[in-house]
Amino acid sequence: MKKVSALVLLLSLSACAFKPAKQEQTPIPIPENNPVVKSYKVVKPASNIVTIAAAGDVMLGGTATPYLEQNGYDYPFDTTRSILSSADIAIINLETPLTNAGELLVEKKYRFRNPPEKVIPALENAGIDIVSLANNHTLDYGYSGLSDTLAALDTSKVAYHGAGENLTEARKAVVMQRNGQSIGFLAYSNTFPEEFWAGKNRPGVAFGHQHYVQADVEALVARGVDIIVVSFHWGREGTTELRPYQPLLAKTAIDAGADLVIGHHPHVLQEIEVYKEGVILYSLGNFVFGSFSNRVQESAIVTVKFENGKYAGLDVTPLLVNNFKVYFQPRLLTPEQGKKAFQDLKWVESKQ
C-alpha cells in the first residue's frame, strides 16, 4: 500500500471496491451565478522534469448541449483549466467525432457528434495538448466524420493519435518536446464495433493487438524517445473490475519500454498500479461527458511527474463529475470530500 500525494489533498488508497453513492435523478438547474471553485497555480518544473496531466473521457454534446449553448463551450473547463495548463502536457480521451455531417457506418445505440468550430477552441483554451481518438465513438458518423475530425484537429493546436486514414496512420506515434525531453504517445482501442478498427486500406482506430503494442513501443525506444505514453480504450463500462487483458496489455507496453499507461472506457475510476519503472492508470473515468448517469460519481486528473525520463511520482486531483450535481462542469472536491470518495480506490505496486 502506498500513499499518493494529491494536488488538492493527500489520499490514502485502499484495496476495496469503489462504490458510488446513490444520487437524485432530477438534473439541478444551472444557477444564475455560476461559482467557480478556486484553483491553484503550479510553478513550472525544472528543465529535466516533465509533468503530464491525464484526464478522462470528453464529449461536449448530448444532454450537455443546452448547458453549453447557454454558458459557452469553455464553461466545462473553468474549474480545471489551471491544472491542465500548469502541466507540460495535458491529455484526454476525445470520445466523439468533430463533425456537423457524416453518415451511419453501423447501427449503434449511442452515437455522438460535436461541432468542431465550438469544441476545438474550448480544448485549446482548456490547455489540452493532445487527444486520443482510439475509442468506440470516433467513427459514429462514418469515414467522412473521421475525416472531418482529423481535418479540424490538423488546423488546431491540439495533437491527436490513435486514428487515421489507414492502420499505419492510426498506429503512428506523436512525439513532443518539453524541457529537453522527448515524449512519445501511442493510442489503441480494444472496444467494438469491429468496423471501427483501421485496416491496411481502411480508415479507423488502431486496435490494441499485443504485437502492435510491443512493436510500436519498441520502435519509439529505438528512436531514443525519453518518455513513452500509451493510451488504451478498454475494459467493461461501469465497473471497477479489470478484464484479464487489461493488465496483460499494460504490462506488455511497460515491458517493451513504456513509462505511462492511461486507460479509458469504463466511465468510472479503476485501480492505479506502479509496475516496474512505469505507472498504469487503468481508467480515469469521465471528465466532461454529455450525459446524465448516477453510475458516474467521482473522477480525477492525475498529474504524472518524470525526472530525467524516469517516473518520479504522481498527484491526484479528485473531481466530482456526477452531472446531476455539477451540470457538466467538473468540481474540485474538498480535502474531506476527496478522502471519503477515494478511500476505496485500489492502489497496487508490483515488480512483475
What is the tens place of the pLDDT at every residue in 245-302? 999 999 999 999 999 999 999 989 999 999 999 999 999 999 999 999 998 899 999 9
Per-residue pLDDT at 7 exceeds 80 = no
Domain presence at residue 120: yes
Q: Is residue 171, in this structure, part of any structural domain at all?
A: yes
Chain-wide mean pLDDT for the chain? 87
Nearest to 77 by CA among 113, 123, 44: 123
If DSSP states are collapsed to H, E and C, what string results for 147-193? HHHHHHHHCCCCEEECEECCHHHHHCCEEEEECCEEEEEEEEECCCC
In angstroms, rounded to a whole number, what is the distance separating the alpha carbons of residues 140 and 112? 6
Judge whether 29 lies within some domain.
Answer: no
What would the pLDDT profile of 191-245 be if each residue is shown by its tens digit?
999 999 999 999 999 999 999 999 999 999 999 999 999 999 999 988 989 999 9
Residue 196 included in any domain: yes
User: Taking the model in full, what pTM does it have?
Assistant: 0.87
Overall number of domains in the chain = 1
Q: 292 lies in a domain?
A: yes
Dist. CA 157–CA 150, nearest whole Å? 12
> Which residue segment(s) compose the domain that 290 sits in?
3-17+47-350
State the Cα–Cα distance between residues 343 and 284, nearest whole angstrom.
16
- For the chain, counts of helices (H) and of strands (E): 9, 19
Would 65 be classed as within a structural domain? yes
Q: Identify whether 30 is part of a domain.
A: no
Residue 91 forms part of a structural domain: yes
The CATH number of residue 343's host domain is 3.60.21.10
Are 257 and 226 spatial neighbours (Cβ–Cβ below 8 Å)? Answer: no
Task: Choose among 229, 241, 125, 102: nearest CA to 175.
Answer: 229
Residue 210's SS3 state is helix
